[in-house]
């Protein structure tokens, strides 16, 4: 060992020892913070399915590849980081001797070939990612960036470290080539040989380049260890457990889509009949009241901003960014951690749990952080502003896009639950809706005895449950379908088509009440469970004696469809629920409904969030429309899983949109840009919002918003009365 090798070996050992010590300390701190969260025992079930999903999502990059260029580049960088870590390890042998290498595999040509091309593709990948970050920098002209609010220096730092580590990997190999210490042939390692041809035959160059590579790598480790909230770096390690512990490993898309996570206290579902607000947790009022998986979510955020780029609130000038919300919770959790880890915290009555002695050594900044309300205005020092919390439509675009499976919607609703149930703090206009749900069983406050008025004048009898001995489908009409004038036309169209196809169905009539979706998503779990338990009892009675596969329900509202099919099981209601577009597509395919008259003028389709993104029903409505128009559908730029929300979800249907551009107007402008004369929908909420948007644009005479069922009915029965145009004039 020469003098150069002695120096490089000492330097490599010293910086590695510091980096490893700091990394162990950082991991212990992060683990301690995450363990502060509430229990989530369900996250440990189905370990086999979880392992499989984690490997598929990480190795296959199934979520990242939705954005093809970024996804492919990131895959090469990820593989490079994992596989080329072996070359960082090999550098420790190379600082000792120029001919050093990994034992056993280090001399295999296949190893040289694989690492060479992974390095080349990794270089290309990181350069692409650096270019994308620069092109989308927040300071660029032309509007908001998905990186707005991200800590940009951290992103640049990580990318430059990756680039330099890859470059020095080839420099090391180049010096080995130049000094005849390289064992791999030219055909396997062409770039290494090309670099070697340009370098001098400096024997010490191998060890010097190796120690520089180690220094760069260990500097990266030191920096991220001193910045435990540096998600752009830590996600390389945390993404694996975060995906493993996702809510539902069987789901093809984001596991936080579809049903909401039940309201829990100490890891157990909350029983409202026995719950005590002084002993049981009602929603989330403090950051430590999130589950440990929630705190892991916050720690894992990569700050990539894909959630932000798709969020309807952010895109229309609202203060909500799913990314910034998660980052605020993350930073707050780690800033408050010294106080919590010392034993601090408030009990459910608001009393301090720690003694003065326990808190005596806690940093003053951590104590100040502990005094901040989780929800509050800037003047109040709040972590999350109320306007941020209430801007969410629960559309799920953030969950759909997140490459590391963060469950934004569950966290937002958990915070809403505390605000509604304990603080009684929510937008005032939503109070009328909640009172109507409690007193009238529907958000509009319509008399229950008018639930069946839509059946009048149909020309055929609509049977009620109890009046017929048997039926194949229970037709869940829903509140909008029973009371809202435009939605009633959809209800009548569906009933007419089912009758035309000879489908045996029945309705509950006055026995039906609201599914509870608006109450649950605004955060009023108590009202939701009250309505849901009543409906589950009614439905179980209607299906008495039937197995689940024969307890069939068809619903026209995606919110009812989602609630009955995905959430009633939490309360003992197991049903097979289909959306009306799914049933109609089946009936057309089976030849029981035959479109005869093409619907002309061009048709575009708006994917409802709770039908498409939350429940993956994309094909059925398009099949129905394709048959009805007997041609190609005109798609909007944002469609299917990237469909843009109408603005009504998350109980926003009953709240005023006072900040920024109206979401429904943004969506209508996109629909109108296609040139289609008909905007087809599959949801009564979407129908209302898009109708309002069309009328607001003064285009009610040029563009019509109509349900998929009505489009099909016009094609199947062109001679039947068409009914009133669904886009009505704005009242003067």
Q: What per-residue confidence (pLDDT) applies to 129? A: 92
For 220, residues 6+ apart whose C-beta sits below 8 A from its C-beta are: 157, 158, 161, 233
Mean pLDDT of 203-207: 91
Q: Which whole number is the average pLDDT over 6-25?
A: 95
For residue 265, pLDDT over 60 is answered with yes
> Mean pLDDT lowest for which of 183-187, 382-386, 620-624, 720-724?
720-724
- Residue 722 has what pLDDT? 44
Asked whether residue 60 is assigned to any structural domain, the reply reads no
In a domain, 380, yes or no: yes
Average pLDDT in the chain: 92
Q: What is the mean pLDDT of residues 74-98?
A: 89
Same domain, 253 and 328: yes
Pairing of strands 264-265, 268-269: antiparallel
Question: Is the same domain home to 689 and 555?
Answer: yes
pLDDT value at residue 720: 63
Res. 136 pLDDT band, cuts 50 70 90: confident
Per-residue pLDDT band at 273 (split at 50, 70, 90) = confident
The alpha carbon of residue 495 and the mean position of all alpha carbons in its chain are separated, in whole angstroms, by 35
Are 417 and 435 within one domain?
Answer: no
| Residue 599: per-residue pLDDT | 82
CA distances to 59, 584, 587, 682 from 590, rounded to whole Å, are 40, 10, 5, 21
The percent of residues above 90 in pLDDT, for the chain, comes to 80
Q: pLDDT at residue 485 above 50?
A: yes
The arithmetic mean of pLDDT across residues 476-488, rounded, is 94
3-state DSSP assignment of residue 302: coil
Domain stop point among 398, 422, 446: 422
Q: Is the pLDDT of residue 12 over 90?
A: yes
CA distance 360 to 403: 41
Residues 635 and 491 in one domain: yes
The mean pLDDT of 128-157, rounded to a whole number, is 87
Burial of 110: CB neighbours in 10 Å, binned 0-12, 13-18, 19+ = exposed
With b for 16 or more beta-carbon neighbours within 10 A and e for fewer, the 489-528 pattern comes to bbbbbbbbbbbbbebebbbbbebbbbbbbbbbbbbbbbbb
Q: What is the pLDDT of residues 418-454, one digit of tens each?
A: 999 999 999 999 999 999 999 999 999 999 999 999 9
* Same-domain status, 470 and 604: yes
User: Mind listing the pLDDT tens digit for each residue in 232-260?
Assistant: 999 999 999 999 999 988 876 778 899 99
360 and 444, same domain (yes or no): no
Q: Are residues 254 and 129 in the same domain?
A: no
Per the domain annotation, does 732 fall within a domain?
no
Is position 42 within any domain? no
CA dist list (Å): 487 to 99, 477, 557, 727: 77, 10, 9, 11
With beta carbons less than 8 A apart as the criterion, state whether 678 and 706 touch.
Answer: yes
Give percent above pLDDT 70 in the chain: 98
Does 513 have pLDDT greater than 60? yes
The answer to whether 192 and 166 have CB atoms below 8 angstroms apart is: no
Q: Give the tens place of pLDDT for each residue, 367-417.
A: 999 999 999 999 999 999 999 999 999 999 999 999 999 999 999 999 999
Position of tokens 């970024």?
70
| Nearest by Cα to 708 from 613, 633, 596 | 633
Q: Is 47 exposed, middle or buried (0-12, 13-18, 19+ CB in 10 A)?
A: exposed
pLDDT digit string, tens, across residues 531-588: 999 999 999 999 988 888 899 999 999 999 999 999 999 999 999 999 999 999 999 9
Q: Report in angstroms the alpha-carbon separations of 628 from 486, 557, 578, 731.
A: 20, 21, 20, 32
In this prediction, residue 725 has a pLDDT band, given cuts at 50, 70 and 90, of very low
Among 562, 480, 483, smallest CA distance to 521 is for 562
Q: 620 and 587: one domain?
A: yes
181 domain-assigned: yes
Residue 703 has pLDDT above 70, yes or no: yes
Copy the structure tokens of residue 629: 């128009």
Specify the DSSP class assigned to residue 566: I
Q: What is the pLDDT of residues 316-350, one digit of tens each?
A: 999 999 999 999 999 999 999 999 999 999 988 88
**pLDDT given for residue 235 in this prediction:** 93
Q: Residue 731 has what pLDDT?
A: 33
What is the average per-residue pLDDT within 153-175? 94
pLDDT at 67: 74
Domains identified in the chain, total number: 3
Domain of residue 445 covers 430-716
506 and 584, same structural domain? yes
pTM of the model: 0.93
Residue 104, pLDDT score: 86
Q: Residue 555 half-sphere exposure, CB side, CA atoms within 13 Å?
A: 25
Q: Is residue 500 part of a domain?
A: yes
* 581, 634: one domain: yes
> Is residue 310 situated within a structural domain?
yes
Q: Are residues 407 and 451 in the same domain?
A: no
Residue 44 falls within a domain, yes or no?
Answer: no
Residues 412 and 436 occupy one common structural domain:
no
* Other CB atoms within 10 Å distance of the CB of residue 673: 11
């Amino acid at each position: 060992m020469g003098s150069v090798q002695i120096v490089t070996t000492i330097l490599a050992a010293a910086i590695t020892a510091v980096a490893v010590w700091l990394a162990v300390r950082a991991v212990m701190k992060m683990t301690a913070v995450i363990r502060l969260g509430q229990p989530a025992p369900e996250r440990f079930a189905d370990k086999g399915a979880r392992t499989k999903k984690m490997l598929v999502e990480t190795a296959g990059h199934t979520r990242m590849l939705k954005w093809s260029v970024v996804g492919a580049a990131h895959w090469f960088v990820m593989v490079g980081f994992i596989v080329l870590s072996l070359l960082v390890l090999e550098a420790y042998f190379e600082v000792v001797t120029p001919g050093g290498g990994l034992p056993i595999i280090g001399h295999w040509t296949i190893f040289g070939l694989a690492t060479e091309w992974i390095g080349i593709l990794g270089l290309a990948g990181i350069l692409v990612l650096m270019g994308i970050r620069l092109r989308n920098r927040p300071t660029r002209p032309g509007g908001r960036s998905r990186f707005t609010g991200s800590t940009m220096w951290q992103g640049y730092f990580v990318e430059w470290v990756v680039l330099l580590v890859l470059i020095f990997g080839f420099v090391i190999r180049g010096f080995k080539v130049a000094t005849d210490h390289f064992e791999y042939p030219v055909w396997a390692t062409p770039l290494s040989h090309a670099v070697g041809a340009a370098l001098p035959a400096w024997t010490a160059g191998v060890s010097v380049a190796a120690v520089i590579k180690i220094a760069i790598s260990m500097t990266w480790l030191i920096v991220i260890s001193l910045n435990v909230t540096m998600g752009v770096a830590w996600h390389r390690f945390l993404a694996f457990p975060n995906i493993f512990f996702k809510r539902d490993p069987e789901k093809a898309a984001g596991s936080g889509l579809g049903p909401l996570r039940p309201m829990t206290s100490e890891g157990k579902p909350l029983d409202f009949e026995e719950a005590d607000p002084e002993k049981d947790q009602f929603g989330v009022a403090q950051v430590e009241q999130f589950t440990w998986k929630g705190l892991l979510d916050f720690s894992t955020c990569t700050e990539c901003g894909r959630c932000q780029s798709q969020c309807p609130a952010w895109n229309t000038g609202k203060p909500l960014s799913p990314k910034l919300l998660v980052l605020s919770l993350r930073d707050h959790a780690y800033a408050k951690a010294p106080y919590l880890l010392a034993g601090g915290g408030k009990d459910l009555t608001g009393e301090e749990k720690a003694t003065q002695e326990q808190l005596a050594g806690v940093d003053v900044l951590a104590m100040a952080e502990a005094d901040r309300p989780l929800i509050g205005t800037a003047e109040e020092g709040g972590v999350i502003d109320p306007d941020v919390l209430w801007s969410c439509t629960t559309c799920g675009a953030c969950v759909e896009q997140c490459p590391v499976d963060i469950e934004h919607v569950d966290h937002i609703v958990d915070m809403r639950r505390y605000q509604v149930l304990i603080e009684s703090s929510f937008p005032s206009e939503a109070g009328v809706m909640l009172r109507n749900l409690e007193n009238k069983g529907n958000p509009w406050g319509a008399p229950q005895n008018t639930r069946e008025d839509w059946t009048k004048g149909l020309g055929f009898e609509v049977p009620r449950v109890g009046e017929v001995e048997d039926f194949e489908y229970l037709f869940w009409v829903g509140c909008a379908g029973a009371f809202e004038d435009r939605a009633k036309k959809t209800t009548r169209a569906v009933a007419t088509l089912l009758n035309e196809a000879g489908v045996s169905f029945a309705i509950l009539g006055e026995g039906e009440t609201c599914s509870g979706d608006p109450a649950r998503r605004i955060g009023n779990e108590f009202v939701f469970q009250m309505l849901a338990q009543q409906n589950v009892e009614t439905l179980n009675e209607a299906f008495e004696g039937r197995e689940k596969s024969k307890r069939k329900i068809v619903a026209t509202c995606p919110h009812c469809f989602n609630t009955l099919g995905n959430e009633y099981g939490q309360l003992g209601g197991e049903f097979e629920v289909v959306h009306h577009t799914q049933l109609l597509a089946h009936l057309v395919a089976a030849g029981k409904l035959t479109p005869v008259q093409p619907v002309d003028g061009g048709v575009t389709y708006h994917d409802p969030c709770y039908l498409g993104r939350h429940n993956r029903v994309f094909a059925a409505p398009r099949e129905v429309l394709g048959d009805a128009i007997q041609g190609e559908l005109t798609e909007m730029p944002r469609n299917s899983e990237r469909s843009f929300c109408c603005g009504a979800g998350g109980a926003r249907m009953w709240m005023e949109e006072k900040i920024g551009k109206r979401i429904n107007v943004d969506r209508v402008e996109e629909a109108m840009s296609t040139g289609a004369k008909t905007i087809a929908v599959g949801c009564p909420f979407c129908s209302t919002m898009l109708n309002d948007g069309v009328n607001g644009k003064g285009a009610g005479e040029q563009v019509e918003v109509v349900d998929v069922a009505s489009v099909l009915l016009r094609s199947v029965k062109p001679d039947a009365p068409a009914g009133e145009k669904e886009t009505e004039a704005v009242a003067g």
